[in-house]
A and B are shown apart, each in its own frame.
Chain A
Amino acid sequence: MKDITEKPMQQWISKDNKAEKALKRVKQNTTARIGIGRSGARYKTDAFLRFWADQSAASDAVFTEVTPETIVNLGLFEIKTKCRSKFEMITRPDWGRIIEKDQQQILKEKCVKDPDVQIYFGDGLSSPSISANAEDMLQVLKLGLEHEGLSVGTPFFVRYCRVNTARTIGPLLNAKVVCVLIGERPGMQTDESMSAYIAYKPHPQMLESEYTVVSNISRHGIAPVEAAAHIVELILKISKAKKSGISL
């Protein structure tokens, strides 16, 4: 059955393009949508539809919810931020970092205290990033860190999550290192990208620059297992240096 999204845009050149040979060559250096031809001054039908398919996937990734089954299948439990909907999630980034008392209580009850490393997932701006990457990443991180002698806390999922939930969750569970794995704002290349924000002893007054960031984790970017293995080493380095972010 036809699937117009199968072929990477990077390999896509319009039919009868005068510069086809040159385009084949130069497109190796960029994923930009060049060489797509024209109908009058507008796009050809297939290029037009492909654009809308890619943009719609990105948009849907923001506005759909991670299903409860996904959370259960990952062996996680769930808490929420102050936001009550995707609408609030995108219009109130300030609420997306607040964990209210009742939710804090759940964490206190269900999580191991004082871990060397606390890992948790957040939907952020891409729900598909969770189902696409979380399982592989969690396993590699957990086994890798434990092999290096670090204790890993009880992982969980935060709905309507922003990165700065770490400022509350870190002190709450008394974790040395917090690693937030959160859905990135989707682009047109992929809607499944995840980022890792890692901080040494995060606290409410910490600066953005104190996060060590690994982005572009997806099957279209850096493979989740390979990214996780890289993060294992970063966390080792952060634990030893007792700092994270640009000063690392």
Chain B
Amino acid sequence: MILKTKLYGKSYQFDSVKQVLSKASELKSGDTMAGLAAESKLERIAAKVVLSDLTVNDITENPSVAYEKDAVTRLIMDDLDSEAFSKIKNWSIGELREWILDENTTSEMILKTSKGLTSENISAVSKLMGNMDLVYAGAKLKIKATCNTTIGGSNTIACRLQPNHPTDNIDGVIASTLEGLSFGSGDALLGLNPAVDTVDSTIAIWNIFQEIKEKLEIPTQTCVLSHVTTQMEALKTGATADLCFQSIAGTEKACAAFGINIEMLEEAQAAFLEHGTAKGKNVMYFETGQASELSSSAHYESDQVTMECRCYGLARHFNPFLVNTVVGFMGPEYIYDGKQLIRAGLEDVFNGHLHGLPMGCDVCYTNHMPADQNDSEVLAMLLAQAGCHYFMGVPQADDIMLMYQSTGFHDIATLRELTGKRPIPEFQKWLENYGFMQNGKLGPEAGNIDLLLEKL
């Protein structure tokens, strides 16, 4: 294993695989703050050169956190498909990259092989990819998952309708939900971030989502994004939903900061399979976002892309229906500006896809980032090309509870029209019945919430 190289006659020496991974990472303010980033652009390239020659086996044997120290490492290692791994363990990361990009390598081949890749390996290959590589490679991956409806396949762009309200006011939530539905949003799920994480508010919103779904006969999924323990308590009262939500992180310690561990997630999955209303077997919905490990000082001196990948390693254990990277919510100390945002979004979605996950992206930014809606729109268009499974649908992109900007209902319709992709088929029929959609475009009744209100 060689951890040094020369560029233009100058030597670059690295201490560890972990350091190579960190320094090979595209610039992120979080890695800089953590003291992990390359000190110059050229040092970054040197790290990439060293990384390209490391083998899958080298990286597998040098996880970011030791097997003995961390439950997430153990889960990822124990879940590894040994047959797939043995076929590729001697490939260099550079060769792995070329094989993935090769036109003769199919989605099926990649997804079979990636079962033998640890999250650090997937992180590594993404560090050898330019933005267009990430889009190109990601676009070929076809990943499906089934809850009530099936997300994924080659021709869909779905949407999580996110009707958040600062006080969880039911009528306010309904208003945004109906508006979103009438613009074609909501096929991935109706999913609310509650303002207060309580059993009461979880039940109240579960009930209203279930009622809307049933009365309007919408082929979709429902979910409230309260803490998994809150949802478990709510489940005990007899109330229910289709999907179980939780935010996850890439180390055991960072998960603990979120108040979760692997057993808790396993219990929740079992409970939702038994008491939830999902028809299919994919009942989990996870959210991630680069640098949550760093923000809880649980990153073990690893870069944020690698840590993010380990979230996907954890997620794939649970066969989730959806994984969502909330890419721009952490703040400029982690992802500084529009450029870093776009890079992070492309990395996360590709890395999640390579883990075999149905990936969505909350393309978003906060007002204290030097970024704006134009950056968001660029990333959303790129991700639509890259096969991103779904995006957030928020009234004109303005989330009045979380106080950040995401993507709007209109953006979802635009992305579908631009790429020729469609909503999940059953949902598309539902939209066409109301005249909300017609010929792949918004229809004459788009925005007419009266048509839905009268049935509630």
Interface residues of A (CB under 8 A from B): 17-19, 21-23, 26-27, 29-38, 40-43, 47, 51-52, 54-55, 58-59, 61-63, 90-94, 125, 185-189
**A-B CB contacts (within 8 Å), total count:** 129
The dominant DSSP class at the B interface is: mixed
Contact B447 A17 (CB under 8 A): yes
Question: Are A32 and B410 in contact (CB-based, < 8 A)?
Answer: no
Q: Cβ of A41 and Cβ of B413 under 8 Å apart?
A: yes
Show 14 residue pairs from A and B whose CB-CB distance is below 8 angstroms, ordered by the A residue.
Answer: A17-B447, A18-B448, A26-B453, A37-B447, A41-B414, A43-B408, A43-B410, A47-B396, A51-B373, A90-B333, A94-B33, A187-B367, A188-B367, A188-B405
Tell me the complex Cα distance, A188–B365, Å: 12
Known contacts A31-B400, A32-B163; decide if A55 and B367 are in contact (CB<8 Å).
Answer: yes
The answer to whether B333 touches A185, judged by C-beta atoms less than 8 angstroms apart, is no
B residues with CB within 8 A of A:
29, 32-33, 163, 165-166, 169, 171-176, 178-179, 183, 331-333, 336, 366-370, 372-373, 395-398, 400, 403-405, 408, 410, 413-414, 417, 441-442, 445-450, 453
Determine if A32 and B453 form an interchain contact, defined as CB atoms under 8 angstroms apart. no
Known: A41-B413, A41-B414, A41-B442. A22 touches B368 (CB 8 A): no
B176 pairs with A187, CB closer than 8 A: no
Closest to A34 in B: B179
Which chain A residue lies CB-closest to B374?
A52
Pair B447/A18 contact, Cβ less than 8 Å: yes
In the assembled complex, the CB of B146 is this many whole angstroms from the nearest CB of chain A, namely 28
Q: How far is the CA of A30 from the CA of B175 in the complex (A)?
A: 8
Please name the 4 residue pairs, one residue from A and one from B, whose CB atoms are nearest each other, closest first.
A30-B172, A33-B396, A187-B403, A26-B175
Q: Are B398 and A58 in contact (CB under 8 A)?
A: no
Contact B176 A30 (CB under 8 A): yes
Contact A32 B395 (CB under 8 A): yes
Contacts of B413 in A (CB 8 A): 41
Q: How far, in angstroms, from A12 to B175 measured CA to CA in the complex? A: 15
* Contact yes or no, A33 B398, CB < 8 A: yes
**Chain B residues positioned under 8 Å from A92 (CB to CB):** 33, 333
Q: Across the interface, do B398 and A32 meet the contact criterion of CB distance under 8 Å?
A: yes
* Contact between chains at A18 and B445 (CB < 8 Å): yes
- Residues on B with beta carbons closer than 8 Å to the beta carbon of A54: 398
Query: Are B396 and A51 in contact (CB-based, < 8 A)?
Result: yes
Chain B residues near A58 (CB-CB < 8 A): 367
Separation of A31 and B398 alpha carbons in the complex (Å) = 10
Chain A residue nearest in CB terms to B404: A187
Q: In angstroms, how far is the closest chain B Cβ from the Cβ of A197?
A: 17
Q: How far is the CB of A18 from chain B (nearest CB, A)?
A: 4
CA distance A92 to B332 in the complex (A): 9
Interfacial chain B residues near A27, Cβ < 8 Å: 175
How far apart sit A27 and B163, CA to CA, in the bound complex (Å)?
Answer: 13
A38 touches B372 (CB 8 A): no
Closest beta carbon of chain A to B418's beta carbon, Å: 9
CB-based contact B179/A35 at 8 Å: yes
A26-B172, A29-B169, A33-B395 known; 19 new pairs, CB 8 Å cut-off, are: A19-B447, A19-B453, A26-B174, A30-B171, A30-B172, A36-B396, A37-B447, A41-B414, A42-B410, A51-B373, A51-B397, A55-B372, A58-B367, A59-B372, A91-B336, A94-B33, A187-B404, A188-B367, A188-B398
Bound-complex Cα distance A156 to B346 (A) = 45
- Closest B residue to A60 using CB positions: B367
A18 touches B450 (CB 8 A): yes
- Contact residue among B172, B373, B445, B453 (Cβ-Cβ distance under 8 Å from A22): B453
User: With the chains together, A59 CA to B331 CA distance in Å?
Assistant: 13
Contact A62 B367 (CB under 8 A): yes
